[in-house]
Amino acid sequence: MDFINAIVVLTNFTIIPALAYGSQLALGAIFVTLIYAVLRFANFATGDMMSFGTMFAVLLTYYFQSIGLGLGFLPTALLTIPFAIIMMILYMLLIDKFVFSYYRIKKSPPVQFAMVSVGVMFVTQAIIRIIIGPSDRRFLDGEKFILKATEFKEMTGLNEGLTLKSTQAITIVVTLIIVSIMFWFLNKTKTGTSMRAYSDNEDLALLSGIDPKRVVLITWVIAGVLATVGGILYGLDKSYRPFVYFNNMLPIFAAAIVGGIGNPFGAFLGGYVIAFAEILITYAYKRFIAYLVPESMEPDSLMQLLSTDYKFAVSFSILVIVLLIRPSGIFKGKTI
């Protein structure tokens, strides 16, 4: 019984949150890696682009709520996803047309692209803050929990409760759906294959009649979907705050590089690697161990490897270690 209790504690406080957080990071990391593979630059506007899409979801959620539109027990925000995605893609295409395409035609070095994306980051942040302001916003409605701790305890008769927030379940399910569709598209369709070919060998792709404009367009469309959905899921699970989204760029980069930049599947797994590392290393194992050892050996301290203050630092350290040992990433970076 104690053993089961211990497992429940661990699942409740580490595995479920890490799966949800990992899914959010994974979507962002695939976004980063896709831009890197096809458009060939590190996009420092990543966090803010995710924030931009989410902003529309937040505003539309408020609007739908005000006219009484909703999904019952599901969050209204899910209803806004298509609209937010469209706005996001339009914005990305606009930015691409007025900013990035110039450097693409000139075949500028990646560093210059990265610098340009810093400019885009500033502009995007300004637009977001001018439209919605910098404050913290919650836009989750509907049923909060799928499984409450007390219900679980009653059901099983265990000491420890297991909670499953609806946002966590939604995050994991939606991520799996989106990512499966994306991998199917990249690997099984003609357009997807042409994208991978373009990313692998641009000159030869052109000689084979692949239209680069189309590839770029489709890349932004997929990127728009990933960024918006990733941003909305994160916002539902935690809350929406522009500054936090900007900062999320850092673990997302870490996930993309750990997974091998340019490799979407690596980025997908990289998201979970970072999330699990952050949570497992900063989790206080006191309660977990207390169930497993005899009472006399119960630990006094929190049994925490690092304080939660260092959550981000953990993922960055992992990145630094990966860069040192295996710069191409755990899953070997390659073009998509």
Partner 1 sequence: MAFFEGKQMTAGYGDGPDIISSCSISANRGEIVAILGPNGAGKSTAMKAMLGLLNLKSGSVTLDGEEISKISPQDRVKQGISFVPQTRNVFAELTVRENLEIGGFLREEGLDQMIENIYNLFPILSEKKSQIVGQLSGGQRQQVALGRALMSEPSVLMLDEPTAGVSPIVMDELFEHIIKVKKTNVAIIMVEQNAKQALSISDRGYVLVTGQNKFEGSGEELLNDPEVRRSFLGG
Partner 2 sequence: MRKYSNIIAAYSIMLVLILLVGIFQSWSIALTILNYCLISAVMTIGANIQWGYAGLINFGIMGYTALGGLAVVLVSVDPVQQAWQAGGLNILICFWIIVVMVVLIRYLLKYFNKSKYRTYGIAFVIIGGILLLRLTATPGIEAIEAVDPAKTGFLGGMGLPVLFSWIGGAFLAGGLAFIVGKIALGLRADYLAIATLLIAEIVVSIIKHEEWLARGVKNVIGLKRPAPYEIDLQTSQWFINLVEKFHSKKLSMINSITERQDALSQFVIDASSVYVKLCFTGLFLSVVIVLLIVTQKALYSPWGRKMRAIRDNEEAASAMGKNIVKEHLFIFILGSAIVGIAGAMMVTNDGLFTPGSYRPMRYTFVIWVMVIVGGTGNNFGAILGGFVVWFLWVEAAPMALFLINLFTSHLPETNSVRVHLIESAPYFRFLVIGIGLLTIMRYRPKGILPEKIEIK
As a whole number of Å, the CA-based R_g of the chain is 21
Beta carbon of residue 333, minimum distance to partner 1 (angstroms, whole number): 11
Residues 169-198 that bind partner 1 (CB under 8 A): 190, 193-194, 196-197
Q: Out of partner 1, partner 2, none, which partner does residue 257 contact, by CB within 5 to 8 A per kind?
A: partner 2
Q: Token pair 């539309």 is at which residue?
A: 60
Backbone angles phi, psi at 294, to 5 degrees: -60, 155
Binder of partner 1 out of 210, 280, 289, 323 (CB under 8 A): 210
Residues 235-294 that bind partner 2 (CB under 8 A): 246, 250, 253-254, 257
Is residue 33 close enough to count as binding partner 1 by CB under 8 A? no
Beta carbon of residue 193, minimum distance to partner 1 (angstroms, whole number): 5
User: Which residue lies nearer to partner 1 by CB, 122 or 184?
Assistant: 184
Beta carbon of residue 134, minimum distance to partner 2 (angstroms, whole number): 8
Q: Out of partner 2, partner 1, none, which partner does residue 276 contact, by CB within 5 to 8 A per kind?
A: none
Beta carbon of residue 215, minimum distance to partner 1 (angstroms, whole number): 11
Q: Out of partner 1, partner 2, none, which partner does residue 207 contact, by CB within 5 to 8 A per kind?
A: partner 1
Is residue 219 close enough to count as binding partner 1 by CB under 8 A? no
Is residue 305 close enough to count as binding partner 1 by CB under 8 A? no
User: Using CB under 8 A as the criterion, which residues of the chain lie in contact with partner 1 when the complex forms?
Assistant: 190, 193-194, 196-197, 199-201, 203-210, 334-335
